[in-house]
Amino acid sequence: MTEMLINSLIVIFISVGVFFILVTAIGLIRLPDIYSRAHAASKSATLGVMSILIGVFLHFWLIEGNFNPRIILGIVFLFITGPVGGHMMAKAAYFSGVPLAKETVRDDMAPLVDKEATKKEQL
Amino acid sequence: MAFQILLNVFIAFVWMFLSNSFSSATFIIGYLLGLIMLFMLRRFFTSRFYLGRVWAVIKLGGIFIKELVAANVAVLKVILKPKLDLRPAIFEMETELKQDWEITLLSLLITLTPGTVVVNVSEDRTKLYVHAIDFDNIDDAVDSIRSTFEKAILEVSRS
């Protein structure tokens, strides 16, 4: 009975993870510009890989009796570095002049980039 | 805060020496006794009693996980909707947070919130530029960030 419960928990975690990674891939194809793709890549991929790792951890711990703290550390590292990666890609794209999607309704950062450009010209 | 924890560990060691038994059970008993002592003597410290701050950190972790799940459901809805009717935008919001680690934590939290990614932090560290995937109202967006995350981070850093 408990074995079945544990097994179904593991299956749920791993299939949720795979599903979210699939959603990330679909989002990378469907979304219009790099900034909205960064949304899909930084959120869904993080949660997807995290829940796969949780499933693997539970499998090795509860079924094979092998408590592996390295997987927990991996989850924590992913949790910290995933969003930072999304942020850095979006920032680098903006300052190297990648255009926003045409649906964009508002852009508060445009004056900032103009200022940077004039600063560079003065130098 | 670090000083209070150090003091608490020190009291636990003193308890281990007093009771002449060096096991982890004795250490835990000494630690709990030290906790009670520090709570009674809390007005002599310059900062507040440290358990409150530990609790605030735990709450912040809970918010992190909750927001991660909510954000993924939101992105899921956006991506799997048959017709893409996005209204992306970059808006600017001011932050009250001063220290670097607080701003880093706030941008991490915003990046994990439904539909927002931090694109840039201004040079003087007073403004965050946030890209929203489906934008309707700037005041709502800023308010929701402010009332949840900024408050939780201020709760941790308050001395």
pLDDT, tens digit (0-9, with 9 covering 90-100), for B50-89: 888 888 889 888 888 888 888 888 888 888 877 777 778 8
Q: Which secondary-structure segment (H or E) carries B117?
A: strand B116-121
Mean pLDDT of chain A: 83
Identify whether the C-beta of residue A40 lies closer than 8 Å to the C-beta of residue A24: yes
Does any CB of chain B come closer than 8 Å to the CB of residue A89? no
> In the prediction, which pLDDT does B139 show?
67
Mean pLDDT of chain B: 83
Alpha helices in chain B, H assignment, sequence order: 2-19, 24-40, 50-80, 100-112, 138-145, 151-157
pLDDT digits (tens, 9 = 90+) for B118-159: 888 888 888 888 888 777 766 676 777 777 788 888 888 776
- Kindly tell me if the per-residue pLDDT of B11 is higher than 90: yes
ipTM beyond cut 0.85 = no
pLDDT digits (tens, 9 = 90+) for A67-84: 888 899 998 898 888 888
Which of A27, A35, A103 lies at the smallest CB-CB distance from B79? A27
Window 91-120 of A, Cβ < 8 Å to B: 91, 94, 100-101, 103-109, 112
Domain locations along chain B: 1-44, 53-158
Residue B33 neighbours by CB under 8 Å, 6+ apart: B11, B12, B15
Q: Which secondary-structure segment (H or E) carries B130?
A: strand B127-132
Contact B88 A33 (CB under 8 A): yes
Residue A123 pLDDT class (50, 70, 90 cuts): low
Tokens of B70: 């909510």
- Kindly tell me if the per-residue pLDDT of A12 is higher than 90: yes
pLDDT digits (tens, 9 = 90+) for A77-112: 988 888 888 888 888 888 887 777 766 666 666 777
This prediction has a pTM of 0.77
- Kindly tell me if the per-residue pLDDT of B109 is higher than 70: yes
Does any CB of chain B come closer than 8 Å to the CB of residue A46? yes
Identify whether the C-beta of residue B131 lies closer than 8 Å to the C-beta of residue B88: yes
Total domain count, chain A: 1
> In the prediction, which pLDDT does B69 show?
85
Residue A60: C-alpha distances to residues A3, A19, A48, B10 (Å): 13, 22, 19, 38
> In the prediction, which pLDDT does A121 show?
67
Tell how strand B116-121 and strand B89-94 pair up.
unpaired
Which of A38, A86, A108 lies at the smallest CB-CB distance from B129? A108
Cβ-Cβ contacts under 8 Å, A53 against chain B: none
- Kindly tell me if the per-residue pLDDT of A58 is higher than 70: yes
> In the prediction, which pLDDT does A80 show?
84
Residue with tokens 């735990």: B58
> In the prediction, which pLDDT does B42 show?
85
For A35, the domain range is 2-122
Inter-chain contacts counted by CB atoms under 8 A, chains A and B: 113
> In the prediction, which pLDDT does B9 show?
93
- Kindly tell me if the per-residue pLDDT of A116 is higher than 70: no
Cβ-Cβ contacts under 8 Å, B88 against chain A: 32-33, 35-36, 100-101, 103-105
Identify whether the C-beta of residue B30 lies closer than 8 Å to the C-beta of residue B13: yes
